Amino acid sequence: MGENVDELFNKLLEDIRNFSISDYNIVKEENGEVYLEESNKFIPRVIIFDLYPLSIEEQRILIDILLEIAYEKYKSWKFNNKTDILGIVIEEAHRFASKNSEVSSRISLIAREGRKFGLGLILVSQVPSSIIEDITSQLNTFILLKIINPKDLEFIRKTCPYLSREYFEALTKLETGSCLAVGLALKNPAILKVIKSVEVGGTEEDIDNIIRERILYGSKINS
């Protein structure tokens, strides 16, 4: 049994060691110790973790580690009067925030307490009903595309009880490119038209420039 665990660990370590983001690795080795990079390179850049090269179990372990690092770092910064914010977006959230996923407890912790330390959380899912209630109950705004699955519709009904019948029925008839937004971010529910995607070159400079152009009312992003 021990050999199987060691073999699994070594495979996981090798997979993650070979897993890189941009031009640097996220796993480092020093003096025989293996640790996850906690470089300031993470701030204030847009970092996309493409986890598809990893198995689902490896993805869950890596996400759990990354979320733990983010939570502990921002918690310590808050207590040291250092202010900063980090937005965490998790695609295919039902794979990690379901009752059968070990990482769901970490996501739940950030959903409950992250905002106190400058951590924001966005979950993206095509199967929202699979996300555990401990997490969905902490989400304050929902942006919903067309939903016709009865189970997901029932989930929305329970999660957003204040949604009127008219809006609820409209949810099943939304056109491509339209969404229903409801929650604390808006005074009232609203059907919105999603803007067309913007083509970017993929470099950090391009992304930074586009973000700066879209910031309103004099807000700034420090580079």
**Angle between the N-to-C axes of helices 56-79 and 2-17, in degrees from 0 to 180, rounded to the nearest 10:** 70
| 3-class secondary-structure state, position 63 | helix
Examine residue 166 and state whether it is found in any structural domain, yes or no. Answer: yes
Token duo for residue 125? 């899912």
- Residue 175 domain-assigned? yes
Task: Judge whether 161 lies within some domain.
Answer: yes
What is the sign of the dihedral through the CA atoms of 53, 55, 61 and 64? positive
Give tens-digit pLDDT for 58-75: 888 888 888 988 898 888
> CB–CB of 181/143 below 8 Å?
yes
Which range marks the domain in which residue 158 is found?
140-194
> Does 110 map to a domain?
no
pLDDT at position 191: 92
Give per-residue pLDDT as tens, 32-41: 554 555 554 4
Q: Is residue 172 part of a domain?
A: yes
pTM of the model: 0.72
147 within a domain of the structure (yes/no) = yes
Number of domains in the chain: 1
Asked if the structure places residue 48 within a domain, the reply is no
Element (H, E) at 121: strand 119-123
- pLDDT confidence bin for 135, thresholds 50/70/90: very high
Neighbours of 70 (CB within 10 A): 20
Task: Report yes or no on 160 lying in a domain.
Answer: yes
